[in-house]
């Protein structure tokens, strides 16, 4: 009996992974639409704290205004990214020359043949292609914007009758209240995480922008936004967000001093915010262990690529909350939790 259940569970897991991979073009925009829906609901609840918005703004108008602001922000970000990438791509030949000069300096300083050892790499090195790859990764997140907007629209339309359907599905008050409690927990945890993560990411991006501007790194707005965006990827995002502009400063100036300044100061900002400010703000609200975080990051990265890395924490939090409600899956939720309490 146990062997049969294990085999069935394995087949089900394989089927789910297959659906996630093959259906990602449909599933990823839907997941983003749900997250946007959570954010809009959170913003509306914050606006309702003000008497003016609560009494004079109908619910549909608050939804419309909030959604419009988000669309404007996304459009503005896309415009800035395009301009920054174009500016960087036009200067890549100058950066390549700086790399060659830097290799020559290292070769003379340490009396080694480093430049010759790396000559094959330098021949194939195309900074424009690297920038194009970075731009493709970033725009991939916004590439399904139209599909996401369609999903968001229908989610909001569905919201009007959702409670009625929930009441029809769960006849007893106990079942209905339990289902509502689960949904409220999911919404509260996800909006809390996204809200605070956005706040800390904005602070990180702004402080990093100031450092990059002082050092004189080209297109500091682009690199600050990249740092802001990568900060959503747990654990490795902050490291990559520090290394990218640091390595670029090495390419731009052909000297180690700007590289070290960016590496030290941007790295210090990441460490202070990631290890001091963020834990104080979030506390233990997510209730997932560090090991589960990195495993989730690896799994969703393998399934959905870089977008899966961005979504790994919200998806894992939802799974822990849902699995904790059922006796058969509660042990899994306990193992995924931070301290065994769900």
Residues 226/241, Cβ–Cβ less than 8 Å: yes
Query: What is the reported pLDDT for 93?
Result: 64
> Nearest CA to 289 among 333, 337, 334, 254?
337
Inter-helix orientation angle 290-323/2-22, to 10°: 100
Whole-number Å distance between alpha carbons of 199 and 193: 10
Tokens of 287: 């209730």
The whole-number pLDDT of residue 265 equals 93
Q: What is the pLDDT of residue 123?
A: 47
- Distances from the Cα of 116 to the Cαs of 107, 113, 124, 126, 250, in angstroms? 9, 5, 14, 18, 19
The closest alpha carbon to 249, from 263, 236, 235, 237, belongs to 263
Tokens of 5: 């259940």
Residues of the chain with pLDDT under 70: 1-2, 6, 74-75, 78, 81-82, 84-97, 99-100, 103, 105-144, 282-287, 340-342
- Whether 89 and 219 have beta carbons less than 8 Å apart is answered as no
pLDDT of residue 141: 55
Which residues 6+ apart lie within 8 Å of 111 measured at CB? Answer: none
List Cα–Cα distances, 78 to 35, 84, 131, 140, 167, in angstroms.
Answer: 20, 10, 15, 11, 42
Round to whole Å and give the CA distance between 165 and 161.
Answer: 6
Distance between CA atoms of residues 307 and 32, nearest Å: 10
pLDDT of 208: 93
Q: What is the gyration radius of the CA atoms in the chain, in angstroms?
A: 24
H or E segment to which residue 56 belongs = helix 51-56
Count the Cβ atoms, other than its own, within 10 Å of residue 34. 18
Pair of tokens at residue 121: 């790499």
pLDDT of residue 90: 65
CA distance 240 to 131: 15
Name the residue among 234, 326, 241, 227 with its Cα closest to residue 288.
234
Task: Say how many residues make up the chain.
Answer: 342
* pLDDT on residue 212: 92
């Amino acid at each position: 009996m146990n062997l049969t259940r294990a085999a069935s569970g394995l087949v089900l897991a394989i089927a789910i992974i297959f659906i996630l991979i093959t259906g990602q073009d449909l599933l990823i925009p839907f997941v983003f639409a749900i997250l946007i829906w959570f954010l809009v609901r959170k913003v509306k609840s914050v606006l309702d704290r003000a008497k003016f918005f609560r009494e004079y703004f109908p619910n549909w108008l608050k939804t419309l205004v909030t959604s419009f602001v988000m669309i404007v922000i996304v459009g503005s970000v896309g415009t800035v990214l395009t301009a920054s990438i174009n500016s960087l791509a036009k200067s890549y030949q100058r950066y390549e020359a700086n790399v060659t000069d830097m290799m020559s300096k290292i070769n003379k300083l340490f009396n080694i043949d480093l430049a010759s050892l790396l000559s094959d790499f330098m021949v194939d090195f195309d900074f424009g292609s690297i920038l194009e790859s970075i731009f493709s990764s970033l725009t991939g997140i916004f590439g399904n914007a139209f599909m996401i907007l369609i999903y968001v629209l229908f989610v909001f339309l569905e919201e009007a009758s959702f409670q009625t359907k929930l009441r029809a599905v769960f006849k007893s008050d106990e079942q209905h209240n339990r289902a509502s409690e689960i949904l409220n927990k999911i919404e509260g945890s996800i909006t809390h995480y996204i809200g605070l993560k956005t706040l800390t990411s904005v602070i990180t991006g702004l402080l990093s922008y100031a450092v990059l501007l002082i050092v004189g790194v080209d297109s500091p707005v682009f690199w600050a936004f990249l740092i802001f965006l990568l900060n959503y990827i747990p654990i490795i995002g902050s490291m990559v967000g520090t290394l990218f502009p640091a390595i670029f400063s090495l390419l731009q100036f052909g000297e180690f001093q700007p590289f070290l300044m960016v590496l030290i100061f941007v790295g210090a900002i990441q460490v202070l915010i990631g290890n001091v400010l963020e834990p104080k703000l979030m506390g233990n609200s997510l209730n997932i262990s560090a090991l589960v975080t990195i495993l989730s990051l690896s799994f969703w990265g393998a399934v959905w690529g870089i977008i899966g890395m961005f979504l790994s924490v919200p998806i894992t939090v939802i799974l822990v909350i849902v699995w904790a409600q059922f006796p058969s899956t509660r042990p899994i939720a306990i193992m995924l939790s931070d301290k065994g309490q769900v």
